[in-house]
Structure 1
Amino acid sequence: MTEQTFQFEQIHIEVARNASDDFNLFHDKHKWLQITHNPFKGPIVLGFQLNTLIEYQMRLYREAHQEDKIIADRGLRFSNYQITFVNALRPRQEMTLDIKKTLIATIPELTLTNRVAIKSQGKTILLGYKKETKTPLFLANTDLSGLPDLNALADDSIVPGTDFFLKRKWMHNGNVKNFLSGSLAEQSAYFDELAHIASYPEVFPCCLTSGALLEKAQLEHHDFKANPMVYTSHDISVDRCLVQRLKNNDKLHILVKQLPESKDNTLNHTDILLRTYECYGVLEDREILFRIKLNLVPLEEIVRNLSAKPQS
């Protein structure tokens, strides 16, 4: 088990949100005040910032325990993050990241699993797992081969014959470095111009999904001030072999599909309906870089649920 202490500053949030084009008001040092009934009393850290911190610390953990060699030798090409967000984290709020000892399973397939937790001021910020597998844990059966040529479609459009919203992005080394630094990860572990090293992290391409969701909502005339949404979970599978091939100016198609809301899909057995999205990062040659299933809920529903609970 390893436990380390960290602290984000507001500048880390600014750098990360600018690098990922995330204009959510929750992270803005001025506009957070414009959010109706905002309980957080200030800007909050991005969920994908926390995921990236976990990625980097897990990388160090794997290297220290020589588990990176197992991953390479056994062809565990998929990196999976199963994250549940419990509370928000503010800048200048000391937090601890706890990584539990690796569990190795062989049935149904070889899997390396670590439980992770972030806590601050006596509260749990997030709980989850980091898992290494041969096949993706999430949205593994998705077949996108029938889609039209995404390169020929307009940005910010619906893919014809589907429910997918398309957002087109390009990889830029500068944005990646900034997001790493904003996430308290050491950028020199990934980039060294003098040594001609440019190794992309796993989570950065995934973080661009937030901006795609925001642009989709904006085109649908969503009111970000009156009806803000917050993440409750991220389930992410990333193809690390494809990540290793990423380079500056590579094109990435982000596909986002909202699933119908259902009374069978609620937050922690409450009556709060989850808004579930399936998201994919597709490279120019149609290969799937990442698969994400994420859940959001309206902030007002969480506030209402909390206020309805009896006070101890």
Structure 2
Amino acid sequence: MKENQFIFEQIHIEVARAASDDFNLFHDKHKWLQVTHNPFKGPIVLGFQLNTLIEHQMKLYREAQHELDIIAENQLRFSNYQITFVNALRPRQEFSLDIKKTLIKTIPDLSLSNRIAIKSQGKTILLGHKKETKAPLFLADTDLSGLPDLNEVPDKKMVPGTEFFLKRKWMTNGNVKNFLSGSLAEQSDYFDELSHMAYYPEVFPCSLTSGALLEKAQMESHDFKRNPMVYTSHEFSVDRQHLSQVKNNDKLHILVKQLPESKKNTLNHTSVMLRTYECFGMLENRELLFRIKLNLVPLEEIIKSLSSKT
């Protein structure tokens, strides 16, 4: 078991949100006050910021346990994150990250799995798993071969003949470095210009989906102040083989599909219906870099649910 203590400052939040174009009011040091009935009493840390901290600490853990060799030898090309958000984390709030001992399974295929927990001030912030597998654990059956040439589709538009909203981004080393530093990860472990090392982390491309969701909501005239949404979970699979080929200024097509809300898809067996999105990151050569399933709920519904229990 590995447990470390950390603390985010507000500057870390500002750097991370600027690097990923996340303009959610919850993270803004001034505009958080504009969010109706905001219970957090200040700006909060980004979900993907916490995921990147987890990625970096898992990298250090795998290196210390000599598990990177197992991953390489067995071609476990997919890195999978299953994260449930329980409470928000504020800047200057000390917290711990606990990584449980690796569980190695051989049936049906070899996989490495670790339970993860972030806690602060006696409360759980998030719970989850980090798994290494040969095949993606999430949205593995989605077939995107019928998509038109995304280079011909205008940015921030629906892809013709599909349910996907398209947001086009470009990978830049500067943004990645800033996001790493904003997530308390050591950027020199990934980039070193003198030795020509440039290794893209797994979570950063995925983090750009937050901005894509915000842009989609803005296009639909969503009121971010009166009807704020918060993440309840992230489930995503990253193809490390494709990631290893990503370089500065590469184009990334982010595809976002919103699923219909259903009374069968609710928050923790309550009546609060989840808003679920399936998102994909496709490189210019049509290779699929990541697959993400995101769940959000209106903040107002969470507050009502909590009030009904008290």
TM-score between the two structures when normalised by the length of structure 2: 1.00
1:267 partner letter: L
Once residues 283 and 244 of structure 1 are traced to their aligned partners in structure 2, the CA distance between those partners, rounded to angstroms, is 12
Aligned to 2:193: 193
**Secondary structure of the residue that 2:115 maps to in structure 1?**
strand
Instruction: Confirm or deny that 1:142 pairs with 2:130.
Output: no
- Tell me, yes or no, if structure 1 residue 274 matches structure 2 residue 274: yes
1:139-189 deviation digits (Å, cap 9, x = unpaired)? 001110000000111000000111000000000000000000000000000
Matched with 2:39 is: 39
**Deviation digits for residues 238-290 of structure 1 (CA, Å, limit 9, x no counterpart):** 00011111100000000000000000000000000000000000000111000
Deviations 1:12-60 (A, max 9, x none): 0000000000000000000000000000000000000000000000000
Aligned residue identity for 2:193:
E
Structure 2 residue identity aligned to 1:251: K
Q: Which residue of 2 aligns with 1:110?
A: 110
Q: How does 1:1-312 map to 2 (within 5 A)?
A: 1-310=1-310
C-alpha displacement at 1:113, in angstroms?
A: 0.3
Secondary structure of the structure 2 residue equivalent to 1:135: coil
Separation in 1, partners of 2:309, 2:142? 40
Alignment partners' CA distance in 1, 2:219 and 2:259: 18
**For residues 109 and 157 of structure 1, what CA distance do their matches in structure 2 show?**
40
Partner Cα distance (1:204, 1:309) in 2: 37
Shift of 1:296: 0.1
SS in structure 2 opposite 1:194? helix
What secondary structure does 1:278 align onto?
A: strand
Which shows bigger deviation, 10-19 or 103-112? 103-112
Aligned mates of 2:108, 2:266 — CA distance in 1: 29
* SS class of match (1:256): strand
Q: How many angstroms apart in 2 are the aligned matches of 1:78 and 1:218?
A: 32
1:79-120 deviation line (CA, Å, top 9, x unaligned): 000000000000000000000000001111111000000000
Give structure 1 regions of 4+ aligned residues with deviation exceeding 4 angstroms: none
Between the aligned partners of 1:90 and 1:53, the Cα distance in structure 2 is 15
Amino acid corresponding to residue 14 of structure 1 in structure 2:
E
Q: Distance in 1 between matches of 2:245 and 2:284?
A: 12
Q: TM-score, normalised by structure 1?
A: 0.99
The RMSD of aligned alpha carbons is 0.4
What amino acid sits opposite 1:76 in the alignment? Answer: L
% same residue = 80
Number of aligned residues:
310
Q: What code does the residue aligned with 2:225 have?
A: K
Within 1, Cα distance between the matches of 2:182 and 2:69? Answer: 28
2:181 is matched by which residue type in structure 1? S
Distance 2:75 2:199 in 1: 19
Unmatched 5+ stretches in structure 2: none
- Shift in Å at residue 202 of structure 1? 0.3
Q: 2: CA distance between counterparts of 1:300 and 1:209?
A: 23
d(CA) in 2 for partners of 1:288 and 1:225?
34
Q: Distance in 1 between matches of 2:279 and 2:47?
A: 16
Amino acid at match of 1:113: S
Amino acid paired to 1:274: L
Using the alignment, how far apart are the partners of 1:309 and 1:52 within structure 2? 33
Runs of 5+ in structure 1 lacking a partner?
none
Distance (whole Å) between structure 1 residues aligned to residue 274 and residue 22 of structure 2: 21
| d(CA) in 2 for partners of 1:241, 1:58 | 18
**Aligned AA for 1:304?**
K
1:216 is matched by which residue type in structure 2? K
- Residue identity matched to 1:198: A
The amino acid that maps onto 1:139 is L
Give the whole-Å Cα distance in 2 for the aligned partners of 1:135 and 1:258: 24
